[in-house]
Amino acid sequence: MDATRPGLTPSGEPSSWTLRLRRLVDRELPMDHLLPERQPYFVGSWVYVFGVITIAALVWIVISGVVLAFMGPQWWHDAGVGRFVNGLHFWSVQLFFIFMVLHLWGQYFMAGWRHGRAATWMIGVVIFGTSILTAFTGYLSQQNFDAQFIAINAKDAMNGGGIGAFFNVLNFGQMYGLHIMLLPVLVTFLVVWHIVMVRMRGVVKPIDPEGVSKP
Amino acid sequence: MKQTTQDEYYRGVRMIRYDLIKELAIALAAVGVVALGATVFLSSPDVPPVTIATWSHDDPVDFVATATGELAGTTTSAGYGQPYNSTADAAQSWGPISPQAWFGVRIPIDSAKTFVIEPLQREAVESQDLTAALSTWQSAGADQQTAWTDAYSKALENAQPSDGTVTVPNGDYGPLPVMMANLLAMGQSGALDGLFQINGSFYQTDYTPALLFIGDGAYLDGLANTWNLHGDQWGMMNETGQYPGQTWLWLYTMWYQVFPFTSDSGFLGLNGGNADLGVIIVMTVLTIALALVPLIPILRDIPRWVPIHRVIWREYYASRKAKV
Asked whether the beta carbons of residue A171 and residue B205 sit closer than 8 angstroms, the reply is yes
Residues in chain A: 215
pLDDT tens digits, A123-180: 999 999 999 999 999 999 999 999 999 999 999 999 999 999 999 999 999 999 999 9
Name every residue whose Cβ is closer than 8 Å to that of residue B84 and which is 6 or more positions away in sequence.
B77, B105, B107, B108, B109, B212
pLDDT tens digits, A14-62: 678 898 898 889 988 899 899 999 999 999 889 999 999 999 999 999 9
CB-CB contact of B116 with B71 (8 Å)? yes
Q: What percent of chain B has pLDDT over 70?
A: 98
* Separation between Cα atoms, residue B191 and residue A21, nearest integer Å: 62
In this prediction the pTM is 0.93
Asked whether the beta carbons of residue A109 and residue B308 sit closer than 8 angstroms, the reply is yes
Question: What is the per-residue pLDDT for B315?
Answer: 87
Tell me the CB-side half-sphere exposure of residue A14, using CA atoms within 13 A: 9
Closest CA to A77 of A175, A144, A26: A144
Question: What is the per-residue pLDDT for B203?
Answer: 87
Longest dimension (CA), chain B: 99
Question: What is the per-residue pLDDT for A13?
Answer: 66
Query: What is the nearest CA distance from A9 to chain B, expressed in angstroms?
Result: 25
Closest CA to B290 of A104, A135, A131, A50: A104
- The residue of B248, B271, B288, B321 whose CB has the most chain A CBs within 10 angstroms, and thus the best one to mutate to test that interface, is B248
Set of chain A residues whose Cβ sits within 8 Å of the Cβ of B100: 159-162, 164-165
H helical segments located in chain A: 17-28, 31-34, 49-71, 75-78, 80-109, 118-140, 145-160, 172-177, 183-201
Cα of A152 vs its chain's centroid, Å: 29
Residue B267: pLDDT over 70? yes
Question: What is the per-residue pLDDT for A5?
Answer: 61
Question: What is the per-residue pLDDT for A213?
Answer: 47
Residue spans per domain, chain B:
52-225, 239-291, 297-324
Residue spans per domain, chain A:
45-110, 113-204
- The residue of B18, B229, B301 whose CB has the most chain A CBs within 10 angstroms, and thus the best one to mutate to test that interface, is B18
User: Which of A64-78, A196-210, B164-178, B295-309 is predicted least confidently?
Assistant: A196-210
Set of chain A residues whose Cβ sits within 8 Å of the Cβ of B229: 146, 149
Question: Among B18, B31, B42, whose Cβ lies nearest the Cβ of A43?
Answer: B18
Rounding to the nearest 10 degrees, give the CA dihedral for residues A18, A24, A25, A26.
100
Q: How confident is the model at residue B15 (pLDDT cuts 50, 70, 90)?
A: very high
Set of chain B residues whose Cβ sits within 8 Å of the Cβ of A77: 46
**Which chain A residues in 131-190 lie under 8 Å from chain B, judged by CB atoms?**
132, 135-136, 139, 142-149, 151-153, 156-157, 159-166, 168, 170-174, 176
Average pLDDT over residues B53-66: 97
Residue of chain B whose Cα is closest to the Cα of A53: B27
Query: What is the nearest CA distance from A20 to chain B, expressed in angstroms?
Result: 19
CB-CB contact of B218 with B58 (8 Å)? no
pLDDT tens digits, B223-237: 999 999 988 888 888
Residue of chain A whose Cα is closest to the Cα of B108: A165
Asked whether the beta carbons of residue B246 and residue A136 sit closer than 8 angstroms, the reply is yes
Closest CA to B133 of B180, B88, B77: B180
Name every residue whose Cβ is closer than 8 Å to that of residue A174 and which is 6 or more positions away in sequence.
A167, A168, B205, B206
Q: What is the ipTM of this complex?
A: 0.94
Question: Among B207, B227, B303, whose Cβ lies nearest the Cβ of A207?
Answer: B303
SS (H, E, C) A7-53: CECCCCCECCHHHHHHHHHHHHCCHHHHCCCEEEHHHHCHHHHHHHH
Question: Among B3, B50, B239, whose Cβ lies nearest the Cβ of A116?
Answer: B3
Question: What is the per-residue pLDDT for A215?
Answer: 54
